[in-house]
Amino acid sequence: MGRRYFGTDGVRGRVGEHPMTVDFALRLASAAARVLAPGGGTVLIGKDTRLSGYMFEAALEAGFVAAGVNVLLIGPLPTPGIAYLTRRFECSFGVVISASHNRYEDNGIKFFDATGGKLSDELEERIEDLLDAVPVTRASRELGRAKRVDTSRTYYQDFCRSVLPANVDLAGLKIVVDCANGAAYKVAPRTLADLGADIVPIGCSPNGRNINDGCGSTAPELLQLTVPGVGADVGIGLDGDGDRVLMVDHLGRIVDGDQLLYVIGTALHEGGALRGPIVGTLMSNLGLELALRRRGIGFERAAVGDRYVLARLKESGGNLGGETSGHILCLDRTTTGDGLVSALQVLAVMREKQQSLAELAAGMEKLPQALLNVRVATRFDPCQVPEVAAVLARVEGSLGAAGRVVLRASGTEPVIRVMVEAQDGAVAHSAAAEIAAAVRDARA
């Protein structure tokens, strides 16, 4: 049976609307306890800075304690920090209350297993099968206990510092760090400062409603202005739950996830530490693939979504992959995407090579990319429509090896996404418009 509530990254939605209600969170906790810790155990609960996080934290705590599971409450901490501490504290599983890069009106609940990895589809389906059951309340002697462990966030800071080589620090670097008024607002500036960097923090004053609001990796304009404005060497932009990152060079230019993969991947390759091919997604810029090929580095594409990148890395034995959005997986360091750890990998390369981020990223030339979203009444596979397939074949034939087309239905909304890459931007936009028109006509 397919999953009803779990998407590619847990359960997510508008606060106050099903399934993001207190009642559902309570039932979700009870169901998860029965599947992930049937004999009792311990769960670590963390969150980002959304106002609604308090009520979902309380509902989950009640559900877990009633089901006989002990609860550790660590408060605001990046999603990868929860994954790390779940493993370090030997918890049965971990929970993150966050809607990642969405605005504060949304929230979500996602789980990690005891290893700090995402739950399998099978486990998520088993949890969903129990959601309609009455929540469990055990006898008083069998109830779980709850306690706050807020100060334990320093363990995650220590871990982040440890990913830098022993002979490398950040002394002399001026860094602007934008934490999106989200989960990393304490640990990211402190970690960078502890490593010796001169820090200019922005997006580090959460009020419960300003997460991802005109700041962070989804809105980097302020970061782009601030970096050259204060004469910084580099900027780091995280998203609301700290699992994504983009960076800004000293000139204020964005360095996205594809370019960061190139910088990290080539350094690992040169040091003999890169395993397997680098894994991107269908949306990764063709320029990344071509640049890696020139370096003799393999590259493969997975479906859009970090869980699919992770699955392909495990299949291929690789240790580096990610998405254009900046969700980067450094599996030799972490079990999940970690914006701060990924940024530290790039900063380490800058120090070791004594080069600026602009110089490091210059080896990859991004091809012009046109992306159009065609809204439809219901999702469908556009490639199965003969008229659309004919236009697609004609465009791909005209582009040849110098371009690329991706045509797919969105997994989260009734939208068909059209992406075209070409050596010339005008050609890419013209081709994308032609395909988009064919999709619209097919459903007219």
**Cα torsion angle, 219, 222, 223, 228, sign:** positive
End-to-end CA gap in the chain: 33
Catalytic position from the list 100, 217, 284, 325? 100
Sign of CA dihedral 9, 15, 17, 22: positive
For residue 29, which of 53, 62, 5 has the smallest C-alpha distance? 62
d(CA 101, CA 107): 10
Joined together, the tokens standing for residue 174 give 């001026």
100: annotated active-site residue: yes
Instruction: Give the other-Cβ count within 10 Å of 149's Cβ.
Output: 17
Which amino acid does the sequence have at 13? Answer: G
Helix (H, G, I), strand (E, B) or coil at 261: helix
Give percent helix, percent strand, percent coil of the chain, each to the nearest 5.
Answer: 40, 20, 40
CA 104 to chain centroid, in Å, comes to 17
> Strand pairing partners for 13?
107
Distance of alpha carbon 12 from alpha carbon 20, whole angstroms: 7
Which residues are 11's β-sheet partners?
A: 109
Catalytic residue IDs = 100
